[in-house]
Structure 1
């Protein structure tokens, strides 16, 4: 799948940031779920006064609605699923490229260094093509406009 189209630089950088965060996504998801399980209570500015008559008092029901409706949590899960799907659909060399470029901390690797050091058995052109195809697939799965 060769993409002759160009991707906006800002879109490519955003997708690369999403990929760099991928190893931390399970931690981010767990932290967000914990935030939703243990929300900070609202301060009560009502001094004296009566009871709230229409207040929902079922904390389990409120928690389920909050977790299901939480945009940040849903986006994190969507990112994780999209990357998992793209990795599953990609060949071994593409997975190795993505792994070495984005999943290692403080990594300064480029396609050129991966090819020069023999980490991936393809040419520069083929390496860039595999990377770009992966980024286009990921953008499509995340419904991100690339142009």
Structure 2
């Protein structure tokens, strides 16, 4: 896997605990946009749908940023659900905590995970590959 792809997946993992808030905030932005003053006095017909509720639903449904956030959240959720307990502990400690207490060796030494160092790093890599594959970013190189 390319290093850029791996870094992107690690960023997604770090953002995962805040993902619900990001999605909520984006929906709020779409539902309550800031109004800009229309300097076009007079003018022709608008191509917008006249019903504001329908327009809002279409806007929310078609928003690329919102869809990307939802896709990232779903990819992490599916990948964690398919992972074992040790992998979930690794993700929780290394990515989800704002101030992690442990690194990989600490997790092993304090017996928070029950595998060796090599296997722990393999589990972490497998999780990253699984998320990348769920998002369609997987690159075998």
Which residue is equivalent to 1:70?
A: 63
In the superposition, the TM-score normalised over structure 2's length comes to 0.91
Partners in 1 of 2:5 and 2:122 — Cα distance?
17
* 2:129–2:138 contact (8 Å) kept in structure 1: no
Q: Which among 39, 46, 49 is matched to residue 45 of structure 1?
A: 39
Note closer, same or farther for the CA distance 1:55–1:141 as it changes in structure 2 (3 Å cut).
closer
User: What is the CA distance between 1:116 and its match in structure 2?
Assistant: 2.3
4+ runs of 1 displaced by more than 4 Å?
Answer: none
In the superposition, the TM-score normalised over structure 1's length comes to 0.87
Gaps of 5+ in 1: 1-6
Which residue is equivalent to 2:20?
A: 26
Q: Is residue 130 from structure 1 mapped to residue 123 from structure 2 by the alignment?
A: yes
User: What is the CA distance between 1:86 and its match in structure 2?
Assistant: 0.6
User: What is the CA distance between 1:34 and its match in structure 2?
Assistant: 0.4
Partners in 2 of 1:68 and 1:54 — Cα distance?
18
Partners in 1 of 2:78 and 2:113 — Cα distance?
21
- Greater mean alpha carbon deviation, residues 107-116 or residues 90-99: 107-116
